[in-house]
Structure 1
């Protein structure tokens, strides 16, 4: 089939690569978000998908919004059979949805109807799910509500961060997306409506959501640290400044610490929670690079019984 691929961030690149390598399909163009400020200099930079497409000499469409008439006209000229989508980042209006003969097919990183929305992987980790996956579905005007073509499953490991899990899902999902395109082309695959039961939503995680509540149980603190890694990053306050928690781990053997109370040893740093302690492994002080928590504690000279978020 002739395809126009829509995607923006790095997580979409494995799917684009898989489609480029598929002999049965031709990626005629990509649709991605416009260049955006990036890095410390805040210079305009192309999206990872745009960079990959440029390497392959593929036409790149960067509409300010997919409702733009010029974009829709160019899409009609290309006349794609289908438009596979991975993390494009903009809602598609009905006129655009109607252009490809087989519609727009999204690769979503959850087992739909669970975790519809912008942050399915983060919410799966935050909720303590043991199993997740990826789904391909035909895009409709509702939020991730269209009929499903196929799924792959992925175990959530006890130490997984959202970044770890998303990396694995991006690779497994790339294969699923190619298989979905194959099945649509030869007529062997038909989308099935999502069940009405089991719907959950995964809105974008805000910086406020990523703040640690030290009165919560250690299990919850661990999930917030892992679920918010690498972005937006779990955080707390120390002496009035933000301290990002890059890596932490439950430490059930350590007790007698009040919520938020810090105990710094030569090689370890523990903090009390609403249950047992957690060990801080890597932290990032405000304005500095990530460092080992023990090095941070020595540098700031944590006082006895001093607390985080106070």
Structure 2
């Protein structure tokens, strides 16, 4: 089939790479979000999907909005049979959905109808789910509501960060998406409507969602930190200064909530249940370092607290 692949961030790269390397389908173009300013150098940067397309000489389309008449004309001229999608990052109007004869087929990183929306992996970790996965479905007007072609499952480890889990799902999901497109072409795969029960939503994770509330149980704090790692990142405040947190360890002892205690064995913070031991932290304007190195340099007063 002639396909136009739509995707933007790193988790979409394995899927595009599979389509390029398999050679079964012709990738006639890639649709990705416009180049954006990123990094400490504040340079205009191509999306990871766009960079992979450039490496293989595939035309890259970067409309500000998919509803732009110029883009719709380009897509019509390309005449794709199907458009596979992985984390493209913009809503597709019905006029665009109607252009390819097999429509747009999305790879979503959850077991639909659970965790529809922008941040399914983060939501699954934060909720304490033990199993998650990826689903391929036909895009329609609703938010991740279309009929499902196939799923793969993945166990969530107790140490998984969103980055680690998403990395695994990006690879297994890429195989699922390729198999789905093959099945659609061969007419051997039929999409099944999503059940009406078990629906949940995963809105976009914002930087303020990474602000850790220490008046919660240690288990909930641990899950939240893992859910927002690596992005947008977990953080707290010490003495009015923001401190970014890496993954932490729960320990079987108690400290008053929010109180920091520095020992030879590490830096501990109290919660409403058991304490948490910090591992790596990043003070503002500095690199990641061990929590003990940070605490020694910060010269914390006895009874110092986080906010």
Q: TM-score, with normalisation over the residues of structure 1?
A: 0.97
Partner of 2:297: 299
Contact 1:22-1:178 within 8 A present in 2 as well: no
Partner of 1:214: 214
Partner of 1:233: 233
Partner of 1:145: 145
CA offsets, 1:38-76, max 9 Å, x none? 112322111111110000000111111110111111111
Partner of 2:181: 181
34-43 vs 8-17, which moves further: 34-43
Q: CA deviation at 1:291?
A: 0.7
Distance in 1 (CA, whole Å) between partners of 2:23 and 2:188 is 18
Secondary structure of the corresponding residue to residue 273 of structure 2: coil
Secondary structure of the corresponding residue to residue 242 of structure 1: strand
Partner of 1:30: 30
> Which consecutive residues of structure 1, in runs of 5 or more, have no partner in the other structure?
none
Instruction: Tell me which stretches of 4 or more aligned residues in structure 1 moved more than 2 Å.
Output: none
User: How do 1:269-308 and structure 2 match up within 5 A?
Assistant: 269-308=267-306
Secondary structure of the corresponding residue to residue 278 of structure 2: strand
Secondary structure of the corresponding residue to residue 151 of structure 1: strand
Contact 1:225-1:247 within 8 A present in 2 as well: yes
Q: CA deviation at 1:112?
A: 0.2
The answer on 1:247 being equivalent to 2:247 is: yes
Partner of 2:127: 127
> Which consecutive residues of structure 2, in runs of 5 or more, have no partner in the other structure?
none
Secondary structure of the corresponding residue to residue 113 of structure 2: coil
RMSD of aligned Cα (Å):
0.8
Secondary structure of the corresponding residue to residue 208 of structure 1: helix
Q: CA deviation at 1:24?
A: 2.0
Secondary structure of the corresponding residue to residue 105 of structure 1: strand
User: How do 1:149-164 and structure 2 match up within 5 A?
Assistant: 149-164=149-164
Q: TM-score, with normalisation over the residues of structure 2?
A: 0.98
Q: CA deviation at 1:211?
A: 1.1
Distance in 2 (CA, whole Å) between partners of 1:236 and 1:40 is 22
Partner of 1:44: 44
Secondary structure of the corresponding residue to residue 106 of structure 1: strand
